Chain A
């Protein structure tokens, strides 16, 4: 018996050489070679122009994957609870603040400061969607995806409402890059429901475990999985891309990983 059963209605993806979930299925399924070109980030079109100009990588990344998952599920973002998760939040912005604070003039830009909060993408998501539903923002070092999955699944089950999981990581510039080498921005979103819907793609049975981790057979994808916390989701995404039932073990914390049994559902909605 699993610990949690949840239904997956939509996916969003953005990473190196992966502009969306829809356009990356062949690579993830192993039908086309994976080439890790720099992540392409679309502008955050959902924001008013004044805000759009102020936002950095995490907001563009989280909006790209979040809206893709919502569209894919045929859901409405306006009343949707969201769980954001990221290891470093806005790493460029953090570096700029640290540089200023180490200089002779410590005057910070107010915009930089309010964008420095870990939940900045959640704030901008609320402004873009008008949603007043609960939203949280997590950090679990290398467990960006596992922490988000656990929180989003339990949130959906407790509320009886759908919940959007939104896990993303960005890269620090030097000198922090040397201590935390995340090579590419990468984000994944999943719209989870406590009950199956006409749009459900799969049923996920999640259990906490201490089994050996699933890795990606493709060495390029494996390098991504092991170097970007949010990309720890890749074994699950590959199973979905291949359209196979199966079971994967996703990296979570020391002494605690997450087994996910995936059962595909016949999707009746477009």
Chain B
């Protein structure tokens, strides 16, 4: 396949604003999860909140897009020289030739959740509420398209927790078809009541900081994040550059909120990514698991990974660091894999104490320094939506 070069990338999550604090948190095995009170939520849970979102202001001319999700998006884009790299790409290719494909699960729905509390006596929403530019799922891609004054293709992928992994596939296909030369991809999801109370209704939220693959794992911790990558044709990649070399997508065809118990859909996605990259299992140096920390998700993923890779490929979930950032998870974990490749280490998971003996994969509890060429990242969502990405470092 045509690989994609990650010309620039950035991540803002509970670990910090940009790559530098993200890398140091991974190096130090520090979690960003905290047991704390957020908004009016009365649940006993830990969250991965990004510091400073409440006080952040979206650009003045784009005020009509103002909501927590777009604040987080702008905050993230302005780190690590990402916005400058996008502007340089627009100069190279033209504003019609740069697309925006972003993942989100709940977009700016928090704005409407709050607006519903302020309905008037006739049940009407406050006049100030801007549905289309905040709540609608497309809002964040629309915001980013306006932020850079772009005129290329754009949409949001919203396939729950695989959303921001699948956008890489859309970008790859459209570059391959010759429709575009570059795309801003990634995902943004922010804290809201719908997901906190929603996952709680399914009894999937842990009162503790989540501990993937632990014997005593008892659910997810919800986090928020914005991850962005600027991708272009990989033909121009230089030694040391990070490229997306394989993208595999599949469906479980099993259940709305439970994964296939044998991890069958997961396996299909991982195999498809390997096939596209032209790689074998033993070429993969590290697997960033979806690893949500619910008993059934981790068990199913373990079966799928073990069936394909056996017990020799180091793997971990970084959800113990960031929390489950839902529609942003695929993008966030792709960036974490890129950092791991650049810095030649496989990040160990955090919070996990006792690895569940029923799980067979080689789960890392400590960072493992090793030469890194290829990393695989798994993202699986409700509705049985699976996506596996393979990121590679171009050899010298």
Interfacial residues, chain A to chain B (CB-CB below 8 A): 3-4, 85, 87-89, 97-99, 101-102, 106-110, 112-120, 122-124, 126-127, 129-141, 143, 147, 150-151, 153-155, 157-158, 174-176, 178-180, 208, 252-256
Answer whether A113 and B199 are a contact pair too, CB < 8 Å, given A137-B159, A154-B179.
yes
Contact A113–B193 (Cβ < 8 Å): no
Chain B, residues 64-96, CB within 8 Å of chain A (1/0): the string is 000000000000000000000000000000001
CB nearest neighbor in B for A78: B253
Main SS of chain A's interface residues?
mixed
Q: Which residues of B contact A106 (CB under 8 A)?
A: 42, 193, 197
Contact A119–B385 (Cβ < 8 Å): yes
CB nearest neighbor in B for A137: B159
CB nearest neighbor in A for B120: A175
Q: Answer whether residue B261 sits at the interface, using C-beta atoms and an 8 A cutoff.
A: no
Q: Which residues of A contact B199 (CB under 8 A)?
A: 113
The winner among B96, B137, B141, B256 for most chain A CB atoms within 10 A is B256
The stretch from B125-133, B206-214, B225-233, B312-320 touching chain A is B125-133
Q: Which residues of B contact A135 (CB under 8 A)?
A: 159, 249, 251, 385
A153 to B176, CA, bound (A): 12
Contact B159–A179 (Cβ < 8 Å): no
CB nearest neighbor in A for B203: A110
Contact A119–B113 (Cβ < 8 Å): no
Q: Answer whether residue B158 sits at the interface, using C-beta atoms and an 8 A cutoff.
A: yes
The winner among A4, A89, A116 for most chain B CB atoms within 10 A is A116
Q: Which residues of A contact B174 (CB under 8 A)?
A: 150, 154
Q: Size of chain B's interface in residues, with CB distance under 8 A?
A: 66
CB nearest neighbor in B for A254: B151
A176 to B178, CA, bound (A): 39
Contact of B136 among A98, A119, A141, A151 (CB under 8 A): A141
Contact B160–A134 (Cβ < 8 Å): no
CB distance from B155 to the nearest CB of A (A): 4
A-contacting residues, B215-269, CB 8 Å = 249-257, 264-265, 268
Answer whether A118 and B137 are a contact pair too, CB < 8 Å, given A137-B158, A139-B155.
yes
Answer whether A150 and B153 are a contact pair too, CB < 8 Å, given A101-B113, A119-B159, A208-B179.
yes
Q: Answer whether residue B374 sits at the interface, using C-beta atoms and an 8 A cutoff.
A: no
Answer whether A136 and B170 are a contact pair too, CB < 8 Å, given A102-B117, A126-B254, A157-B177.
yes
A231 to B193, CA, bound (A): 32
Contact A113–B202 (Cβ < 8 Å): yes
Contact of B131 among A107, A117, A150, A179 (CB under 8 A): A179
Contact B179–A126 (Cβ < 8 Å): no
Supply 8 further A-B pairs (C-beta < 8 A) apart from A108-B197, A132-B251, A174-B124: A89-B137, A136-B170, A139-B138, A140-B141, A141-B132, A151-B173, A175-B123, A179-B131
Q: Which residues of A contact B112 (CB under 8 A)?
A: 98, 176
CB nearest neighbor in B for A154: B173
Contact A256–B123 (Cβ < 8 Å): no
Answer whether A132 and B382 are a contact pair too, CB < 8 Å, given A106-B197, A137-B158.
no
A241 to B291, CA, bound (A): 50
Q: List 22 A-B contacts (CB under 8 A).
A: A87-B136, A98-B112, A101-B194, A110-B257, A113-B202, A117-B159, A119-B158, A119-B381, A126-B251, A126-B253, A130-B253, A134-B169, A136-B159, A136-B249, A140-B138, A140-B154, A147-B154, A150-B174, A154-B179, A157-B173, A158-B173, A174-B123
